[in-house]
């Protein structure tokens, strides 16, 4: 085999591969032999058709599968010989397939993106500030309150009770902008819990103080995202009128019912229902849950910082195909989210072209990060094991509610998805490795955020 | 000329005929049953522009065929095997 490497740019190579004549004719002859038994021709017994007659009937070009397999084989051989490492699916030039001949060497070319050796900077013993996490009694009480509320029930208020925050209001409303009714801006028997801020800002506040049966007007400034259909997903009252950002809308509201939320008593019965022995157990469980959650959040935050720092420290240009792939996954992910929320992609106003441009930098950034993580994994001998894959299948199966075998088979059928998944797991493992090798300075409070704080809870990842 | 074309019905490409061609430069045709060797020789020489050294012919009896109660017989036909001069070739047989 002959391989010539042509350098298109530092990260793009073109391989010119020549498959020797003997191999080609051997393969072709074998193929004809198999074909000979399969077809029937008047005047000949099966398998007895002279090859030159067969060749005229079935031209050699029709064995494109055979040549594709051959190209794949030799491509892989060429990679081993040259020691190149492709980072994505190669572009194999199939144009020469029409020009194959039996007694001639077969030449083809492959364009591939290769990984440039990444010069790894320091990634061990990175120093980060880690927040110490302790759940205060006050926080626990608040969580308990939410918990009992969640398990509680609703009771109607007395008729002359003015609405207050925390009440559940049932209302009819019609939205207007000027005299024009807002599209989708009206609703009947709409339930809203005051203080949850699910409506347009300012709307819920204006309900306070009104009593059941009252009719009134609420004026709110339409939020800026009102027009961007994308944001409609999170809007309970979607509409699209109003070009200017601060459009004033009037809602005619009729308050039909007011209810209050009554918490369940915090007792052993509730605790047992939650699988805890006593109220104290429940408290401990809740506290542990909160702590774990906070710890996870903190871990995620630090990992993101690590990621950002790694990208900042390493200067490298990721291959285009990888960036493209990342972009594709980002866009697919967005589409998936839109569809999950019950909208059609076409209606959402999601502009793929625009997203492509706007997210390009993000994609480059991510790709750089992934490449670095991969390089670190390689250096540290971190691999994706079968066990990791099984774990991932199980997780995916759980997420999608399918059987593990179905998920596994589907993954195996799509090499690109497979590559993406193994890459993801590898990145995670590398990140965990870096994380566990970080040095943490425990602090009470982070400068920019102020949430939970307290005394030490040391742990290693 | 038209007459000549009507004598040669079709070339025969079978296992046996390819063997004959390879071993002795003989070509095989299905010809009109009424044609004689001289006519066949003339026809082949004219149409394919080759030299024919000898002609062998044989009558092939049609096969008895039956379809349910109907008994029938496929047509009888004449086969001609011609020896060509060394180096002469008929494209038809080189590739079908």
State ipTM.
0.81
Could you tell me which chain B residue has the CA closest to the CA of A42?
Answer: B14
Partner-chain contact A45 B15, CB within 8 Å: yes
d(CA A192, CA A169): 5
Asked if the model's pLDDT at residue A154 lies above 60, the reply is: yes
Element (H, E) at B76: none
Q: Please, which pLDDT band fits residue B81 given cuts at 50, 70 and 90?
A: very high
Confidence of residue A246 (pLDDT cuts 50, 70, 90): low
Query: How far does Cα A288 stand from its chain's mean position?
Result: 28
Q: Is A89 helix (H, G, I), strand (E, B) or coil?
A: coil
Pull the structure tokens for residue B76. Answer: 């009888």
Mutation to test the B interface, candidates A40, A48, A53, A58, most B Cβ within 10 Å: A53
* Segment A413-455, tens digit of pLDDT: 877 777 778 878 888 888 888 888 787 777 776 655 444 333 3
Whether A57 has its CB under 8 Å from any CB of chain B: the answer is: yes
Share of chain A above pLDDT 70, in %: 85
Nearest CA in chain B to A52: B95
Tell me if A43 and B95 make a contact (CB, 8 A cut-off).
no
Decide if A43 and B13 are in contact by the 8 Å CB cutoff: yes
Q: What is the DSSP string of A136-196?
A: -HHHHHHHHHHHHHHH-EEEEPPTTPPP-TT-EEEEEEEEEETTEEEEEEEEEEEEEETTS
**DSSP H or E stretch at residue B29:** strand B26-31
Which of B17, B21, B94, B96 to mutate against chain A (most A CBs within 10 Å)? B96
Q: Please provide the average confidence, as pLDDT, over all residues in chain A.
A: 75
Residues of A within 8 A of B17 (CB-CB) are 43
The more confidently predicted of residues A170 and B55 is B55
Q: Which residues contact A280 (CB under 8 A, 6 or more apart)?
A: none
| Mean pLDDT of all residues in A342-346 | 69
């Amino acid at each position: 085999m002959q391989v010539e490497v042509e350098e298109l740019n530092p990260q793009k190579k073109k391989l010119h591969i020549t498959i020797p004549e003997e191999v080609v004719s051997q393969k072709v002859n074998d193929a004809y032999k198999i074909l000979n038994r399969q077809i029937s021709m008047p005047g000949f017994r099966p398998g007895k058709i002279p090859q030159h007659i067969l060749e005229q009937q079935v031209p050699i070009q029709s064995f494109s599968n055979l040549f594709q397999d051959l190209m794949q084989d030799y491509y892989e051989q060429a990679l081993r010989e040259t020691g190149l490492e492709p980072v994505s699916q190669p572009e194999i030039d199939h144009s020469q397939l029409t020009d194959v001949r039996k007694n001639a060497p077969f030449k083809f070319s492959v364009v591939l993106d290769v990984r440039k050796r990444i010069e790894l900077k320091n990634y061990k013993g990175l120093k980060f500030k880690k927040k110490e996490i302790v759940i205060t009694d006050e926080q626990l009480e608040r969580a308990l309150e939410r918990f009992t509320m969640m398990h509680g029930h609703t009771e109607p208020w007395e008729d002359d009770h003015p609405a207050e925050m925390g009440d559940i209001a049932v209302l009819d409303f019609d939205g207007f902008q000027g005299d024009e009714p807002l599209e989708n801006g009206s609703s009947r028997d709409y339930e809203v819990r005051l203080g949850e801020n699910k409506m347009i800002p300012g709307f819920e506040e204006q309900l306070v103080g009104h009593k059941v049966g009252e009719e009134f007007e609420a004026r709110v400034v339409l939020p800026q995202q009102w027009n961007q259909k994308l944001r409609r997903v999170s809007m309970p009252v979607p509409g699209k009128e109003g070009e200017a950002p601060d459009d004033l809308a009037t809602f005619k509201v009729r308050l039909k019912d007011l209810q209050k939320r009554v918490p369940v008593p915090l007792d052993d019965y509730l605790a047992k229902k939650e699988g805890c022995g006593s109220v104290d157990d429940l408290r401990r469980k809740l506290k542990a849950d909160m702590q774990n959650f906070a710890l996870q959040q903190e871990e995620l935050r630090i990992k993101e910082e690590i990621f950002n720092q790694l990208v900042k420290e390493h200067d490298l240009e990721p291959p285009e195909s990888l960036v493209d792939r990342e972009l594709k996954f980002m866009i697919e992910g967005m589409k998936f989210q839109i569809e999950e929320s019950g909208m059609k992609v076409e209606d959402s106003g999601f502009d793929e072209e625009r997203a492509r441009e706007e997210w390009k930098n993000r994609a480059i950034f991510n790709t750089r990060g992934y490449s670095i993580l991969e390089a670190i994994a390689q250096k540290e001998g971190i691999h994706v094991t079968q066990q990791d894959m099984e774990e991932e299948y199980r997780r995916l199966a759980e997420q999608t509610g399918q059987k593990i075998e179905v998920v596994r088979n589907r993954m195996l059928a799509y090499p690109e998805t497979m590559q993406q998944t193994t890459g993801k797991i590898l990145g995670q493992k590398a990140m965990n490795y870096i994380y566990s090798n970080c040095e943490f300075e425990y602090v009470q409070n982070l400068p920019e955020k102020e949430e939970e704080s307290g005394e030490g809870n040391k742990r290693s990842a | 000329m038209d007459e000549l074309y009507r004598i040669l019905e079709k070339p025969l490409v079978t296992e046996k005929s390819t063997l004959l061609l390879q071993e002795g430069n003989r070509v095989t045709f299905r010809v009109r049953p009424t044609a004689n060797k001289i006519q066949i020789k003339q026809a082949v020489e004219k149409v394919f522009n080759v030299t024919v050294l000898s002609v062998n012919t044989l009558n092939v009896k049609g096969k008895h065929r039956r379809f349910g109660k109907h008994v029938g017989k496929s047509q009888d036909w004449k086969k001609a095997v011609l020896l060509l001069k060394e180096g002469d070739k008929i494209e038809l047989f080189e590739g079908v």
